Homo-oligomer: A and B are copies of this chain.
Amino acid sequence: MDTTLRTERPQSAATGPIAGSRAATLAELFALRGTPCSFARNKTIASEESPIERVYRIERGFVRCCSYTEDGLRQIFDFAGPGDLLGFPDLETWHFTAEAIGPVAARYLKPDTLDAVLIAEPRIAKALRRHCVQQFARRERHLVWLSYLQSDDRLQAFLEAFARLGETQDGFVELPMTRKDLGDHLGMTLETVSRCFGSLKRCGRIAMEGACRYRLGAERSEASAA
């Protein structure tokens, strides 16, 4: 029900269980045995239907998890960020396409490696099951948004959920994705997304700084214009 499906963020390096060669959490496992890699803006990290040869954990940047219909429409299921996992060791093929929104840094493991760890280390196996089912719950929340919220509230629900993982020091959150991306995520056109930003601003439900930085709640710095 909550959005904290990211595995723990701050992982204070070499102290603690990492000292031994046996990792106890997914974060440790990738830090210890993962191979670093990176992707440029708009590069495809994995394609729907292609075999899963690597399971990634994102370290920096954001990724679009999406699917294309035969007529070229795109449904974005999720924006994955630092700490998120991409791919499951038990599936043969990717069930979505993953694309780097901006520059992305990640680490990966081979499914075979992960498989072996899952048998040897029940805590990791459990963590992976929980990760999977939490992603699952996230999709269900998304379904509720699409069914029962109108565009304004849909955008606000997204902004509230996203704020929990992108916040900066001054309370503003940076959006890495375009209006089109948001539209493809929220089931509306980019024009409607833009209009919704306008109306949320006008109602004082958010404050904006340029097109890509927002803060929740009524504006505090600027005069509350009617």
Contacts and interface: CB of A to CB of B under 8 A. Distances in A.
Interface of A: 1, 49, 67, 69, 73, 75, 77, 88, 90-91, 93, 95-96, 118-119, 122, 125-126, 128-130, 132-133, 135-137, 139-140, 142-144, 146-148, 184, 187
Task: Return the 6 tightest CB-CB contacts between A and B, nearest first.
Answer: A139-B139, A147-B187, A90-B129, A95-B137, A146-B146, A136-B136
Given A91-B133, A126-B90, A49 B143 contact: no
A144 B140 CA distance: 13
Given A90-B133, A132-B133, A96 B143 contact: no
Contacts of A95: 1, 133, 136-137, 140
Contacts of A129: 88, 90, 128-129, 132
A24 B126 CA distance: 19
A144 B90 contact: no
Contact of A148 (B75, B88, B143): B75
18 contacts: A1-B95, A67-B140, A67-B144, A69-B148, A75-B143, A75-B144, A75-B148, A77-B140, A90-B129, A91-B133, A96-B140, A118-B125, A125-B125, A136-B139, A143-B146, A146-B147, A146-B187, A148-B187
A1 B140 contact: no
A143 B144 contact: no
Given A75-B144, A90-B126, 13 more contacts: A67-B140, A67-B144, A69-B148, A73-B148, A90-B133, A95-B136, A128-B129, A129-B129, A129-B132, A136-B136, A139-B143, A142-B143, A147-B184
Contact of A49 (B1, B69, B75, B139): B1
A91 B140 CA distance: 15
Contacts of A143: 75, 77, 139, 142-143, 146
A96 B142 CA distance: 14
A184 B95 CA distance: 25
A66 to B, nearest CB: 10
Nearest to A96: B140
